[in-house]
Amino acid sequence: MSTNRTFTMIKPDAVENGHIGGILDKITSAGFKIVAMKYTQLSRRDAQAFYAIHKERPFFGELVDFMTRGPIVSAILEKDNAVEDFRALIGATNPADAAEGTIRKLFATSIAENAVHGSDSDENAAIEGAFHFAGREIF
Ligand code: CMP
């Protein structure tokens, strides 16, 4: 995967609250091209593996419950400087700290249910994209 790609999920809270369209509009309006996308639901095993880095955190069980409770939209996005620019677009992890106009400020409700995921590095973007998509699903 090129270094100009990042990985995102529209999380179950945002799907439940009817924000798929609003969030995709913010993403494409900011210049990101969608190169892979699916509507899916994580199993507990998927979520435990995806968030393995957080397994010692006190909120790990809550995080797995949340991320598996309903469907998500997962996607790979392409743009110059994709990882950094996407993290700016989504805003701080806690929506209370997120800047005006960011996706989390607009659509998230709490630090746990924060509407979207964005990869934190090029390396993790590649790992996370490959976790969710087969090569033939990426354009
Ligand atoms: P994200 O940064 O995408 O990936 C880790 C997730 O863990 C984070 O979004 C939140 O959904 C969740 N998370 C982070 N901090 C907390 C917390 N203090 N309590 C509950 N969930 C959290």
What one-letter code names the amino acid at 130?
A
Q: Which atom of ligand 1 is nearest to the CA of 116?
A: 3
Q: Which of 13, 56, 63, 124 to mutate to test the pocket of ligand 1 (most atoms within 8 A of CB)?
A: 63
116 vs 99: CA distance, rounded Å: 15
Q: What are the tens digits of pLDDT across the range 14-60? A: 999 999 999 999 999 999 999 999 999 999 999 999 999 999 999 99
Does residue 74 sit in helix, strand or coil? strand
- Any idea which fold 5-137 has? Alpha-Beta Plaits (3.30.70)
User: Which residue's alpha carbon is nearest to atom 3 within ligand 1?
Assistant: 117
Residue 67, amino acid:
M
Q: Where are the alpha helices (DSSP H) in 40-101?
A: 44-50, 60-68, 82-90
Where exactly are the structural domains of the chain?
5-137
For 111-131, the pLDDT digits (tens) are 999 999 999 999 999 999 999
Instruction: Kindly report the pTM of this predicted structure.
Output: 0.96
